[in-house]
Amino acid sequence: MFERLQKKWKVGSLQLVFIISTFALGGSLTGYAGRKLINVFAIEQDWLWILVYILLVTLLWPLAVVLVSIPFGQFLFFMKYIRKIGKRVGLAGSSESRVKTDSELTTHDSRLTTRIVIFASGTGTNTQKIIDHFRNSSAVKIALIVCNNRHAGVLKIAAKENIPSLIIEKEKFFRGNAYTDELKEKQIDFIVLAGFMWMIPSLLISAWPNKILNIHPALLPKYGGKGMYGHYVHEAVIANKEKESGISIHYVDEICDHGPVIFQATCPVLENDTADSLALRIHALEHKHYPRVIEEILMSEV
């Protein structure tokens, strides 16, 4: 159960403890305050007492958990959580405010639009599919493309699509500020890796915790880790006579191909397969699923 909650809320184990503690203490505070307040009314009928108590608890609970969340450092999480509940029950986002929000989103206001950056090193086929998927979206904006290879085809895609690009250097990326200042200046909310050939430094991971997504061209955890990229991973799958391969979409942590897997899709490995022929089916899976999974993750955070 706790693992499911971690994946659903995209939090670490320590933060999960703080969140559950906030729920528990907030609930206790709500019950205590509700009983104290209802005694003021001196209600004699049992049915009316129960009705008023339920109403009080419903109104007090959001305030209680937000107050308790502050010392636990979970204020932002619970504000977002309560807003999400409000939208689901129709207490937030009226038709009038929705018209206003859509208008504001077309201006790509960073407070309302999720701004993502794509990190890529090669031709950029996945990048193009992601751009195409979000082309007409008012909720998601491709704000930047980052590349570590100034001759990569993905930079031509960025120029064609009028998306700003940033070419990064190894020294600054690994031993400097990891370009966190540049990304924050662009108000980046989420990082997507699409064929990016460098490890992500811990400084970047800590600046965007549970906000960095990667796609791996094989099934994790078996075919991950150092050296498992491109044709090398397909050759390993074929050499081991696997019956199937596929893609793994996962969050990024400090260990290569180690973060929690969110989604996997498979395809058969045929007897006469080469790394090239298998790669074609893997690419088809990437193009089909990666943009959709990115959108599902981003929309689940709204």
Distance CA 29, CA 2 (A): 24
Catalytic residue among 133, 216, 287, 289: 216
Tell me, yes or no, if 216 is annotated catalytic.
yes
Distance CA 45, CA 202 (A): 61
Active centre residues (catalytic): 216
